[in-house]
Structure 1
């Protein structure tokens, strides 16, 4: 199994987390949910490690304005095309579906469709690590009070596609909330206030009040 470079970057102003994965044998890397202002830093990090950027992965469309400065193909859920003319989608964009694989070097990430926070929300599973963006917050869930949010879809996504993963799977969210930046599926099953022991109907009635 090839060696892999892994970094988690934290932006204190936005509370946002960005992830860098690099397959060192073939020298290819991917970046998940980068912020525009970190383009120079990310470029320097990759150059220092001798890595070339293969893909920039976006867990949802909120990161759509942060394409600048990173020269690579950008990956989004195919759901971003709903109501959006094809001509408005940049040519370097790759649209992916549930269970599709994304390669960098000899490594593969699997796409998991997790609509709810937005219709186009997706997560990425690599080995024993889940990168879930805002599909799931550690100990809770994102607010569902945006016009594009769907509490029922969020509940289905988390309980069907995420919490059914092996308990030892590491959960890396899109934001650091209350000083937490990693959890496990087993811990989220036991302690997540939004989903643990909640029925779908109860979740949908209470979800706007859950802590973000």
Structure 2
């Protein structure tokens, strides 16, 4: 079954709903607070029961609705253990497996680099890559414990070793692209393909990106599952 991909235009964030084909159970990845009612409507319309809310990291560009969704649905909040989000009852480690539905499993892959705790999630040949790997690019590495060296190693050793056909569902896109594949990214990613570790580190150091506008609000809120900003 294909993931349901939803988009927040203000932050260019993708949210994903995964539905278990053998039950009503569903999982949501990286929900955004201002889309709470939209996401709940999708879940209700399709007759789903939300069991897990997953975060790929503590976001700096939007506030999560994880806390509100947990309160309204009873779903478990699942977060990377290295991101400092203590209210979540499930603190994920590399190699963990999240079961849902009758026989569904989501593999947890720790991919530090964008932030120290960043995680990717693998389900049925679909990789939900957060800000670690984008379509044709990658997340920045200059705050929240980020490291260009760590990101290069995460992608090279953990993501680019997946099957070529693995679909890549990014956490953001700014160019109207919605999905890619590991094989395509390994060969064509503008920042990572055919580039040495040293070249990648130099490239990332030269980006000189502006500070995220919502960082001072979003990061503290997201470390509390967005509860201070929930509706």
Q: How high is the TM-score relative to the length of structure 1?
A: 0.88
Partner residue, 1:78: 81
Kindly report which structure 2 residues correspond to 1:35-114, keeping only aligned pairs within 5 A, or say none.
35-62=32-59, 65-71=64-70, 72-81=75-84, 89-90=86-87, 92-105=88-101, 106-114=103-111
Instruction: Report the aligned-residue RMSD.
Output: 1.9
Q: Does the CA contact (< 8 Å) of 2:67 and 2:77 recur in 1?
A: no
1:195 has 2:192 as partner? yes
Cα distance, 1:113 vs. partner? 0.5
1:34-69 CA distance string (max 9 Å, x none): 001111111111111111110000000116753242
Q: How high is the TM-score relative to the length of structure 2?
A: 0.81
1:141 has 2:138 as partner? yes
1:7 has 2:4 as partner? yes
For 2:64 and 2:34, locate their aligned partners in 1 and report how far apart those are by CA, in whole Å. Answer: 11
Counterpart secondary structure, 2:163: coil
For 1:143 and 1:56, locate their aligned partners in 2 and report how far apart those are by CA, in whole Å. Answer: 24
Cα distance, 1:142 vs. partner? 1.6
1:161 has 2:137 as partner? no
Partner residue, 2:29: 32
Residue correspondences, number: 202
Partner residue, 2:224: none
Q: Does the CA contact (< 8 Å) of 1:171 and 1:183 recur in 2?
A: yes
Q: Does the CA contact (< 8 Å) of 1:119 and 1:148 recur in 2?
A: yes
For 1:211 and 1:168, locate their aligned partners in 2 and report how far apart those are by CA, in whole Å. Answer: 34
Partner residue, 1:21: 18
Partner residue, 1:85: none
| Bigger RCO of structures 1 and 2 (CA < 8 A, at least 6 apart) | 2
For 1:16 and 1:201, locate their aligned partners in 2 and report how far apart those are by CA, in whole Å. Answer: 29
Partner residue, 2:116: 119
Q: Does the CA contact (< 8 Å) of 2:98 and 2:108 recur in 1?
A: yes
For 2:137 and 2:162, locate their aligned partners in 1 and report how far apart those are by CA, in whole Å. Answer: 17
For 2:147 and 2:174, locate their aligned partners in 1 and report how far apart those are by CA, in whole Å. Answer: 22
For 1:45 and 1:138, locate their aligned partners in 2 and report how far apart those are by CA, in whole Å. Answer: 25
For 1:137 and 1:68, locate their aligned partners in 2 and report how far apart those are by CA, in whole Å. Answer: 26
More strand by share: 1
List, as ranges, runs of 4+ consecutive aligned residues in structure 1 with deviation greater than 4 Å.
Answer: none
Cα distance, 1:25 vs. partner? 2.7
